Amino acid sequence: MSTYAIRIFGDPILRQRATEVANIDGRLVSLADDMIETMYEAPGVGLAATQIGIDKRLFVYDVGDGPQVIVNPEITESRGEWDFEEGCLSVPGLHWNIVRPKEVHLRGVDLDGNEVSMDADEYLARVFQHELDHLNGVLLLERLDADTHRQAMKTLRSRVLSGAGFSTPRPEEPAL
């Protein structure tokens, strides 16, 4: 297993919609292993393939029950509202309270090719929504209200201009 560099805000692949996985083969399994290792090293609780520059629709996560991989995920239902302070490994050191649906139903395929169909609530639902956004080329910045978004872009630009980069202290909450 090996780890990948996590792509950071500004990298064009983070704005692209990833391509469906056509075949689950040994290469995909080893990619998933590397994604899991990269996620743990970050440390994070979720990681989408596009975050390491791979144009494939899969993400990995671990909310405390061991690592899981979902291939070609889709959210088929969502309901309610839940406010949660969300961070992203691709926008390191920053986090915002974001309201998203509280419950979702996720469908996809696992690495054995078996269909996955599950309900998720609160934190797990948030992980799924965040990672699926990544596969659709959407960053959490786009989930902010207009004022917060403007402020966030100002902060991000000033970091780039000052050369401060993103080597800020790690947030207390692991990011996604």
Q: Which of residues 18-57 bind Zn ion (CB under 5 A)?
A: none
The enclosing H or E element of 61 equals strand 58-61
> According to CB under 5 A, which one of 6, 52, 88, 120 is a site residue for Zn ion?
88
The enclosing H or E element of 130 equals helix 122-135
Distance (Å, rounded) from C-alpha 69 to C-alpha 109? 8
Residue 25 or 55: the one with the smaller Cβ distance to Zn ion is 55
Residue 88 or 106: the one with the smaller Cβ distance to Zn ion is 88
Distance (Å, rounded) from C-alpha 28 to C-alpha 160? 34
Known catalytic residue at 131:
yes
> Which tokens go with 21?
């996985």
**By CB under 5 A, how many residues form the interface with Zn ion?**
2
Cβ-closest residue to Zn ion?
A: 88
User: CA nearest 125: which of 90, 78, 91, 171?
Assistant: 78
Asked if 176 interacts with Zn ion (CB under 5 A), we say yes
> Which tokens go with 84?
């949660």
- Minimum CB separation of residue 25 from Zn ion in Å reads 26
Out of 131, 142, 172, 173, pick the active-site residue.
131
- Residues paired with residue 84 on neighbouring β-strands, in sequence order: 98
Which residue stretch of 54-62, 82-90, 108-116, 145-153 sits at the interface with Zn ion (rule: CB under 5 A)? 82-90
Which residues of the shown chain bind Zn ion in the complex (CB under 5 A)? 88, 176
Instruction: List active site positions.
Output: 131
